[in-house]
């Protein structure tokens, strides 16, 4: 553990702010590992005055950064990706130590960071604007994309480094500096990543405040980001209530936001589907990251004719789940992030029972090595009970039966969140219906693969209370730039649009 911390420049006590130099004189928090409760290191939060200094230097860095040609900015992102490749093993282990996901998932998360850097390097030469035919003689109509300004990136604990990288790699090539406020449940990985970015920016001779950091409580530092007009875009990842608060504050000042909020992923298992594919996809989707992914599978909607056989095979898998130290390769499930998360799971189990659900396995505290371990739970429910409507951020899987595909789609869509969904079927008509305008209402709709494990090449995000934001691949970059439309007249006379005449 000490070797990993040292390799990433984590000291015993670390300032939690970076404004081109490291600062922090607020409250000190000791970070403990959910694996066994052992102390990792301490972080000193920034005060509101220090936050102001961080934002001022980040905002100041925009003046020069926006003038750097985009392909040159891409070279910086290429070097960032290379530096992440060099630090992949250490960073993955720190993710595991700090928030408890298995090491193989930690490695996958850092790979995602590398992948988005590669994507952004290509993008740096493809920030295309359109040219449109003008309705006026000898006029040209065009649009260009310009850098937007400071991007405030507020992240959740469960993807402590990937979400920063999705935003940062894209924002950097778009010409925007970044101010990161990570979750206080995973501040050490944020310090490690900022140090990596600092090195890269310094190597190129750019202002390192382009990648700034401010660690502190959401209710004070977060609200300073939400309300300050120097932050052009707030990219917020977190719970639905948090997003409602952030979105309202940012909207009040007509700032931009990308909201990436809670999910309630469901998989429809049709009798036309491959049951082995269904089992593997659902099992990983439900127990991966100990059920703490926004795209985790929380509901299985299974055709009545298959219900009992499917459930029995799933129960067999659940009962064999290797749970324990997530650094050990054999374990498929590590701890929850903290003791409060364990209490939330236990409370949800009681509520499920009270509302008529039947607990078929798991949902118990597992006293292992002083860590925050639980057993993964399956509950049989008749439909979307009130507790099923909630995103309990823990490994509880609700299984419900359906008759017709239309009923299954109604169950799938019958929650307030709209992030990720899937159908397991080999019937093309069923798959097409699920993907059609009367099918899944989610931002992600998969066929024969589960709800979690999205690739960076697509735009990531969801509808309804998931917030409507998109980040990562496809054309999500457009949210990080301002669009400018221009009419250019080379006719030598004045001609008004819509045929309006001007007699002088
Ligand atoms: P959370 O809502 O508790 O915290 C998220 C972030 O918001 C943290 O950095 C927190 O400090 C900050 N915050 C708190 N108050 C704030 C305020 N007033 N202003 C600004 N920021 C504030 O979420 P969490 O427990 O860290 O993460 C779990 C949640 O995140 C789940 O709901 C999960 O579905 C969601 N999530 C969504 C996505 C997605 O892409 N849709 C990805 C990962 C996680």
**Sheet of strand 444-447: strand arrangement:** 358-361, 377-380, 396-402, 297-303, 265-269, 420-424, 444-447
Measured CA distances, 298 to 9, 236, 282, 344 (Å): 38, 22, 9, 15
Strands 459-460, 471-472: pairing is antiparallel
Total H helices, total E strands in the chain: 15, 26
pLDDT of residue 495: 95
pLDDT of residue 79: 98
pLDDT of residue 310: 97
412 and 421 in contact (C-beta within 8 Å)? yes
Domain over 265-447 is classified CATH 3.40.50.150? no
pLDDT of residue 317: 97
CB of residue 62 inside a 6 A radius of ligand 1: no
The residue written with tokens 């507790």 in the block is 387
CB of residue 232 inside a 6 A radius of ligand 1: no
How many angstroms is it from 238 CA to the middle of ligand 1?
2
| Residue nearest atom 18 in ligand 1 by C-alpha distance | 219
pLDDT of residue 475: 98
pLDDT of residue 247: 98
CB of residue 363 inside a 6 A radius of ligand 1: no
Sequence-separated (6 or more) residues with CB below 8 Å from residue 96: 35, 102, 103, 105, 106, 326, 327, 334
Q: CB burial class (10 A; 0-12, 13-18, 19+) of residue 365?
A: middle
pLDDT of residue 424: 98
As a CATH number, domain 2-261+467-484 is 3.40.605.10
Q: Closest ligand 1 atom, CA of 238?
A: 30
Q: Where are the domains of the chain?
A: 2-261+467-484, 265-447
Euclidean distance between CA atoms 392 and 387, whole angstroms: 8
CB of residue 221 inside a 6 A radius of ligand 1: no
How many angstroms is it from 155 CA to the middle of ligand 1?
6
pLDDT of residue 400: 98
pLDDT of residue 329: 95
pLDDT of residue 496: 96
pLDDT of residue 139: 98
Q: Do domains 2-261+467-484 and 265-447 have the same CATH topology?
A: no
pLDDT of residue 210: 98
Catalytic residue positions?
260, 294
Question: For the chain, which residues score pLDDT lower than 50?
Answer: none
Strands 150-154, 178-181: pairing is parallel
Euclidean distance between CA atoms 294 and 500, whole angstroms: 53
The pick from 237, 260, 476 for probing ligand 1's pocket by mutation, whose C-beta has the most ligand atoms within 8 angstroms, reads 237
């Amino acid at each position: 553990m000490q070797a990993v911390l040292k390799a990433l420049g984590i000291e015993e006590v670390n300032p939690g702010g970076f404004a081109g130099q490291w600062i922090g004189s607020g409250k000190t928090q000791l970070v403990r590992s959910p694996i066994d409760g052992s102390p990792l290191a301490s972080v000193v939060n920034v005060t509101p005055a220090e936050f102001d200094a961080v934002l001022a230097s980040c905002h100041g860095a925009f003046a020069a950064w926006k003038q750097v040609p985009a392909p040159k900015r891409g070279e910086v992102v290429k070097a960032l990706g290379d530096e992440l490749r060099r630090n992949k093993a250490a960073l993955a282990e720190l993710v595991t130590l700090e928030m408890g996901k298995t090491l193989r998932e930690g490695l996958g998360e850092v790979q995602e960071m590398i992948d988005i850097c590669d994507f952004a390097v290509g993008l740096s030469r493809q920030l295309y604007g359109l040219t449109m035919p003008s309705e006026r003689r000898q006029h040209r109509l065009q649009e260009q994309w310009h850098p937007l300004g400071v991007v405030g990136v507020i992240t959740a604990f469960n993807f402590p480094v990937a979400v920063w990288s999705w935003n940062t790699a894209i924002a950097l090539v778009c010409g925007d500096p970044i101010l990161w406020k990570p979750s206080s449940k995973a501040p050490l990985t944020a310090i490690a990543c900022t140090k990596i970015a600092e090195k890269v920016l310094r190597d190129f001779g750019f202002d390192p405040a382009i990648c700034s950091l401010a660690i502190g409580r959401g209710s004070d530092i977060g609200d300073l980001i939400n309300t300050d007009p120097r932050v052009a875009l707030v990219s917020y990842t977190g719970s639905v209530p948090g997003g409602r608060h952030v979105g309202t504050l940012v909207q009040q000042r007509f700032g931009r936001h990308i909201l990436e909020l809670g999910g309630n992923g469901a998989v429809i298992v049709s009798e036309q589907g491959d049951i082995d594919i269904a089992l593997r996809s659902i099992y990983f989707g439900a127990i991966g990251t100990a059920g703490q992914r926004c795209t985790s599978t929380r509901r299985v909607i299974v055709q009545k004719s298959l219900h009992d056989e499917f459930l029995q095979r799933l129960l067999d898998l659940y009962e064999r789940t290797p749970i324990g130290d997530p650094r050990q390769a054999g374990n498929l499930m590590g701890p929850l992030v903290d003791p409060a998360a364990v209490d939330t799971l236990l409370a949800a189990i009681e509520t499920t029972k009270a509302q008529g659900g039947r607990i078929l396995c798991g949902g118990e505290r597992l006293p292992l090595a002083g860590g925050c371990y639980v057993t993964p739970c399956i509950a049989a429910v008749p439909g979307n009970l009130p507790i099923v409507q909630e995103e309990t951020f823990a490994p509880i899987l609700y299984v419900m039966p359906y008759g017709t595909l239309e009923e299954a789609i109604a169950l799938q869509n019958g929650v307030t969140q709209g992030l990720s969904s899937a159908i397991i079927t080999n019937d093309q008509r069923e798959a097409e219906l699920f993907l059609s305008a009367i099918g899944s209402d989610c931002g992600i709709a998969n066929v024969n693969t589960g709800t979690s494990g999205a690739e960076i090449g697509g735009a990531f995000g969801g509808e309804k209370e998931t917030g409507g934001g998109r980040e990562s691949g496809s054309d999500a970059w457009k949210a990080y730039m301002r669009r400018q439309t221009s009419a250019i007249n080379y006719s030598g006379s004045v001609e008004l649009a819509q045929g309006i005449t001007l007699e002088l």
